[in-house]
Amino acid sequence: MRQTLWAEALGSFFLFATVVGSGIMAERLAGGNVALALLANAAATAAMLYVLIAMLAPVSGAHFNPAVSLVMRLRGEGTWPGLVAMIAVQLGGGLLGVWTAHAMFGLPVIQTSQHLRGGAGQWLGEFIATFGLVATILLTARNRPAAIPASVALYIAAAYWFTSSTSFANPAITVARSLSDSFAGIAPSSVPGFIAAQLAGALAAHWFDRNVMESGKA
């Protein structure tokens, strides 16, 4: 279990640092072109996801995401105390990654985002983003397990663009991004709505896989 927790902490550190750090870099270099900044942010995130999943999936499953860890627990993996520990290290490692990104770019380490994100459209976007992410993981694991790193990375790259919320799809990174007043930030008051939508999307994907995809094979 110790190796699993260290792997989740390490992966969350680099993933969250990439999301925030590439957002800061993209905003600085894009000259006000938000579309270009989002493209750079999405590309960096997808590239890092591929590397981290390929590297750490054999150790921890490469969740880096409490919603994914919850679904895996519901499918019989691990224990409930283990889930709590996983979420704790995902959030802890991720927060350290965000703060490190701030330090690398010469920004105040401790910040609070002012970027309001909310409303039915963005909540639906987060539901769809998380449903799609969890479905991608579950179905690819069953049908083409070797393709999981590429499938997840490509899905997130696409979801940055086709969802109204730009696809946070992760409760831990949502909390961490509320502490970054940068391109990738989200205001703390917007966090509960996003997390509720993410959990609903993850649970819906779990239900869909169990009751539609698995039963269809019976």
Q: What is the pLDDT of residue 216?
A: 58
Taking a C-beta distance cutoff of 8 angstroms, is the pair 123, 197 a contact?
A: yes
- ∠13-14-16 over CA atoms, to 5°? 70
Other beta carbons within 10 angstroms of residue 76's beta carbon come to: 6
Residue with tokens 């094979």: 217
User: Nearest Cα to 46, choosing from 138, 166, 186?
Assistant: 166
H or E stretch at 177 = helix 171-177
What's the predicted TM-score (pTM) here? 0.93
Tens-binned pLDDT, residue by residue, of the chain (218 aa): 889 999 999 999 999 999 999 999 999 999 889 999 999 999 999 999 999 999 999 999 999 999 999 999 999 999 999 999 999 999 999 999 999 999 999 999 999 999 999 899 999 999 999 999 999 999 999 999 999 999 999 999 999 999 999 999 999 999 999 999 999 999 999 999 999 999 999 999 999 999 888 765 64
Using alpha carbons, list the distances in angstroms from residue 184 to 18, 89, 209, 210, 214: 10, 21, 31, 34, 37
Q: What is the pLDDT of residue 212?
A: 85
Side chain identity, residue 137: I
DSSP label of 210: I
Q: What is the pLDDT of residue 217?
A: 60
Side chain identity, residue 104: M
Domains of the chain: 2-217 (1.20.1080.10)
